[in-house]
Amino acid sequence: MSLTDEERGRLADVVRLQPTKNGELQDAWEMESGSDVHGYLENHLKEYYYRDDDSLIRTTAEANDLVDVEPGVEPDAVAKGGVPETVRVPELESRVVDVLAGPDERSQSVVSVLNALREAYDADPEVDAVRRALRSLERKNVVEVVYRTVPTFRLAVARDEITVEIEE
């Protein structure tokens, strides 16, 4: 199957963001709904993606070979529940890793992470963007959730055991 430029670009997004969800692709593709994303995937990229046991969207090996981007994580490690050695993430997610509590520290709320980002980077991301970044890192097995009064987060692995690259 030959892909149009738009399909190839969107496939590259899926490769880069995997494991991902409809909502994350909805934001990336500026679509109206998750249903629109699902329809696009089924109608245009059906041969190149699948949903894992947790219903997260992942790409096939063929898809990874078709596009000139690095996958967001090593597919096999994360699919098997392991922690990847390297993740390629947007700048905000990289900053979250920098300020987030370590695996042996007390987990932080989304607001606590937001305040740490403000202090460390003199930046003011929206709280929903921080929440999405934390959840994306959770899907990549880099962050774990600790449920207290509210969900809180901390790294699932020591900082020196993972390489975080900022995607272009």
Give pLDDT, residue 25: 92
SS (H, E, C) 91-135: HHHHHHHHHCCCCCCCCECHHHHHHHHHHHHCCCCCHHHHHHHHH
> Does 79 reside within a domain?
no
Question: What is the identity of the amino acid at 24?
Answer: E
> Does 112 reside within a domain?
yes
Give pLDDT, residue 80: 58
Give pLDDT, residue 40: 94
Give pLDDT, residue 16: 83
Residues recorded for the chain: 168
Q: What average pLDDT values come out for the chain (168 residues) when binned by 10 residues?
A: 87 87 89 93 92 84 81 59 78 94 95 96 93 89 88 91 82
Domain boundary among 16, 35, 70: 70
Domain boundary among 48, 70, 92: 70
Give pLDDT, residue 76: 56
> What CATH number has the domain bearing residue 156?
1.10.10.10
> Does 102 reside within a domain?
yes
Give pLDDT, residue 98: 95
Residue range(s) defining the domain that contains residue 60: 3-70
Domain count, the chain: 2
> Does 75 reside within a domain?
no
> Does 78 reside within a domain?
no
> Does 114 reside within a domain?
yes
Same domain, 64 and 114: no
> Does 76 reside within a domain?
no
Cβ neighbors of 165 (< 8 A, separation 6 or more) are 70, 86, 87, 88, 89, 94
